[in-house]
């Protein structure tokens, strides 16, 4: 867990909403980034020409469920220098097949060395490194077998990576933020003092990093990737990969919705929310391109609730592109403000705090974004975020077969509808409530600390052991 004495809103909204590939931000995106970073640092040290062999040791949850989560393939592609936001999923599959056939890895994209996932990726599922359950160690050796360069990294959720020599929760130094906050209470205080919404505070802080126009454009690009993942998924039928024989549903659901509800009657909103959430997570489960929001396992919730906002709130349904684009940016900024609190004060890693840290955080973020677009005050927005998480407390991470399919895909749909309800409940109140967002975040962190490791993405408990893989 993070040191609460040294945290703050140093994370950008674009770090919470990063483009990657499925099926897991902590088990696929993070390890790929860590492997690519390792290869780059070996090259920067001038050691690349001397490398004769590379070894990867995976610990804890990465080892226990890495096969189903795509960790092994992600590491192999990352060692060649590819990054999640740039790699083409189809091209990566071709390159992995070449690696398997030839037994050759292009380390750092240049140095050819022998490599086999079976021989050079070593698993330690029962060993937890002290800093985080998702630990990994990379090492490069010369022809004599001497280690040239080695480092230990951790995938701490949402695609974020920390190295052993970095303090927990550390972020790269950047511009001083004009409206800093490290708690929801401080965020509310900034809103009151400046007369701003959650999104307004976030936009002011992002402006310290880049021009406002670039922030808005970047957010719209993220939203476009979210939409693309929906339609890419809806174009495909059959089964998801992995051996569980889980059937894709998005294509058939869309066909039925278009036939039964072509004009999107507000009375049918939940069916469309379900469709978007399921589609995004089917795309994630198949290794497609998605946006971590704030993780891959919870990537369908925010797109589904954003779609609800744009299609069913009267202010945005049928509005011109400029109005809808502004709403999209504000939704993601408000959600991002809440996501920062979860990332810095607790965790968004299922391996660290269970699924409450992934699906719970995403639902809380989505509820905040929706409440703001519904015209909520900052107090009502904070209340919406609190309600959504309060009723996800204790949610376990117990994927069958270590795959991000059951219960993950349906869980996104259920949580998205819960986020809508949380926002609606908050808007029926005046913003005052007994449990604060800070209190529920602290409770989530403590609940995660107390939760058995069996329910933290290890596939050792819950549905993972009580449902036969078939």
For residues 301 and 416, the answer to whether their CB atoms sit within 8 Å is: yes
Report pLDDT digits (tens) over 380-411.
Answer: 999 999 999 999 999 999 999 989 999 999 99
> Looking at residue 10, what is its pLDDT?
75
- Arithmetic mean of pLDDT, 109-138: 94
Distances from the Cα of 28 to the Cα of 92, 111, 216, angstroms: 13, 23, 28
pLDDT at 165: 79
pLDDT, position 175: 63
Measured CA to CA, the distance from residue 353 to residue 362 in angstroms comes to: 14
Domain 14-163 has CATH 3.40.50.40: no
Grade residue 258 by pLDDT with cuts at 50, 70 and 90.
very high
Structural tokens at position 201: 């505070």
Residue 179 has a CB neighbour count (10 Å cut-off) of 21
DSSP structure string for 197-209: -HHHHHHHHHTTT
Q: Which two tokens stand for residue 231?
A: 């339609």
Strands (E) located in 184-314: 289-291
Q: Where does the pLDDT of residue 115 fall: very low under 50, low under 70, confident under 90, or very high at 90 and above?
A: very high
Look-up of token digits 């303090």: 167
Distance CA 351, CA 170 (A): 19
For residue 240 the two structure tokens come to 């998801």
Measured in whole angstroms, the distance separating CA 142 from the mean position of its chain's CA atoms is 36
Would the pLDDT of 5 be above 80? no
Nearest to 120 by CA among 148, 96, 140: 140
- Report the relative pairing of strands 147-155 and 104-107 from DSSP bridges: unpaired
Alpha-carbon distance 328 to 106, whole Å? 40
Q: Name the percent of the chain lying above pLDDT 90.
A: 90
pLDDT of residue 469: 61
Q: Which tokens go with 299?
A: 């990537």
User: Helices 212-234 and 250-260 meet at what angle, rounded to 10?
Assistant: 90
Q: Provide the pLDDT for residue 88.
A: 86
Under DSSP, is residue 290 helix (H, G, I), strand (E, B) or coil?
A: strand
Q: What φ, ψ does residue 341 adopt, rounded to 5°? A: -65, -40
Which helix (H) or strand (E) element contains residue 390?
A: helix 378-390
Task: Determine if the pTM surpasses 0.85.
Answer: yes
Cα 309 to Cα 359: distance, rounded to the nearest angstrom? 19
Q: Where are the domains of the chain?
A: 14-163, 184-208+210-455
Task: Kindly state the average pLDDT of the residues 32-39.
Answer: 97
- In this predicted structure, the answer to whether residue 212 has a pLDDT above a threshold of 90 is yes
- Is residue 436 pLDDT above 60, yes or no? yes
Task: Give the pLDDT band (50/70/90) at residue 4.
Answer: very low
Tell me which H or E stretch contains 111. Answer: strand 111-114
- In terms of Cα–Cα distance, which of 7, 48, 347, 20 is closest to 181? 7
List CB contacts of 263: < 8 A, sequence separation 6 or more: none
Q: How many beta carbons lie within 10 A of that of residue 391, not counting itself?
A: 16
CA 303 to chain centre: 12
Residues in the chain: 470
Strand partners, 107: 111
DSSP secondary structure string for all residues of 135-191: EEEEEEE-TTS-EEEEEEEEE-STT-EEETTS-TT-----PPPSS--SSHHHHHHHH
Measure CA 242 to chain center. 20
Q: What is the pLDDT of residue 68?
A: 86
Gyration radius of the chain's alpha carbons: 22
Tokens found for residue 2: 């993070």
- Tokens 């409940």 belong to 425
Mean pLDDT computed over 70-83: 94
Nearest-CA neighbor of 435 among 248, 256, 202, 184?
184
Q: Which helix (H) or strand (E) holds 439?
A: helix 437-450
- The CA-to-CA distance between both ends of the chain, in Å, stands at 36
- Residue 180 has a CB neighbour count (10 Å cut-off) of 14
Mean pLDDT across the chain: 94
Which of 380, 339, 327, 337 has the alpha carbon at shortest distance from 363?
A: 339
105 vs 76: CA distance, rounded Å: 8
Mean pLDDT of the region 250-257 = 97
Token pair listed for 271: 């069916």
Q: Residue 167: its pLDDT value, please?
A: 57
Among candidate residues 397, 389, 394, 291, the one with its CA nearest the CA of residue 350: 397
When pLDDT is averaged across residues 312-339 and rounded to a whole number, the result is 98
Contact yes or no for 190/201 (Cβ under 8 A): yes
């Amino acid at each position: 867990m993070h040191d609460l004495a040294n945290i703050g809103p140093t994370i950008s909204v674009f770090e919470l909403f990063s483009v990657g590939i499925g099926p897991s931000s902590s088990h696929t995106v993070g390890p790929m980034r860590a492997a690519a970073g390792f290869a780059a640092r070996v090259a920067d040290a001038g050691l690349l020409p001397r490398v004769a062999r590379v070894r990867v040791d995976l610990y804890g949850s990465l080892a226990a469920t890495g096969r189903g989560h795509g960790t092994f393939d992600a590491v192999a592609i990352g060692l060649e220098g590819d990054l999640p936001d740039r790699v083409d999923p189809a091209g990566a599959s071709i390159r992995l097949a070449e690696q398997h056939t030839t037994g050759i890895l292009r380390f750092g994209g240049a140095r050819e060395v022998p490599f086999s996932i079976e021989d050079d990726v070593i698993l330690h599922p029962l060993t937890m490194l002290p800093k985080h359950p998702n630990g990994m160690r990379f090492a490069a050796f010369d022809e004599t077998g001497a280690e040239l360069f080695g480092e230990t990294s951790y995938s701490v959720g949402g695609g974020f990576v920390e190295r052993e020599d970095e303090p927990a929760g550390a972020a790269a130094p950047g511009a001083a933020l004009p409206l800093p906050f490290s708690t929801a209470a401080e965020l509310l205080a900034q809103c009151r003092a400046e007369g701003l919404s959650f999104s307004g505070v976030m936009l002011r802080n992002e402006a310290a990093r880049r021009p406002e126009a670039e922030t808005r454009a970047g957010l719209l690009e993220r939203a476009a990737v979210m939409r693309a993942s929906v339609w890419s998924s809806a174009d495909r039928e059959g089964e998801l990969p992995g051996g569980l024989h889980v059937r894709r549903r998005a294509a058939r659901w869309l066909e039925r919705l278009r036939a039964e509800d072509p004009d999107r009657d507000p009375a049918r909103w939940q069916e469309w929310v379900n469709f978007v959430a399921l589609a995004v997570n089917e795309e994630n489960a198949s290794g497609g391109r998605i946006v971590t929001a704030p993780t891959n396992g919870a990537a369908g919730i925010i797109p589904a609730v954003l779609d609800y906002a744009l299609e069913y709130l009267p202010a945005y349904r049928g509005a011109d592109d400029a109005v809808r684009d502004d709403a999209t940016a504000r939704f993601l900024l408000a959600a991002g403000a809440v996501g920062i609190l979860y990332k810095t004060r607790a965790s968004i890693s299922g391996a660290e705090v269970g699924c409450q840290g992934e699906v719970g955080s995403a639902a809380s973020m989505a509820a905040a974004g929706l409440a703001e677009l519904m015209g909520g005050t900052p107090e009502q927005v904070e209340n919406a975020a609190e309600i959504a998480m309060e009723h996800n407390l204790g949610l376990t991470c117990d994927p069958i077969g270590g795959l991000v399919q059951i219960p993950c895909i349906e869980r996104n749909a259920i949580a998205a509808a819960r986020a809508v309800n949380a926002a609606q409940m908050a808007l029926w109140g005046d913003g005052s409530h007994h449990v604060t967002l800070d209190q529920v975040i602290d409770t989530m962190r403590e609940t995660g600390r107390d939760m058995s490791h069996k329910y933290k993405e290890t596939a050792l408990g819950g549905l993972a052991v009580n449902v036969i893989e078939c």
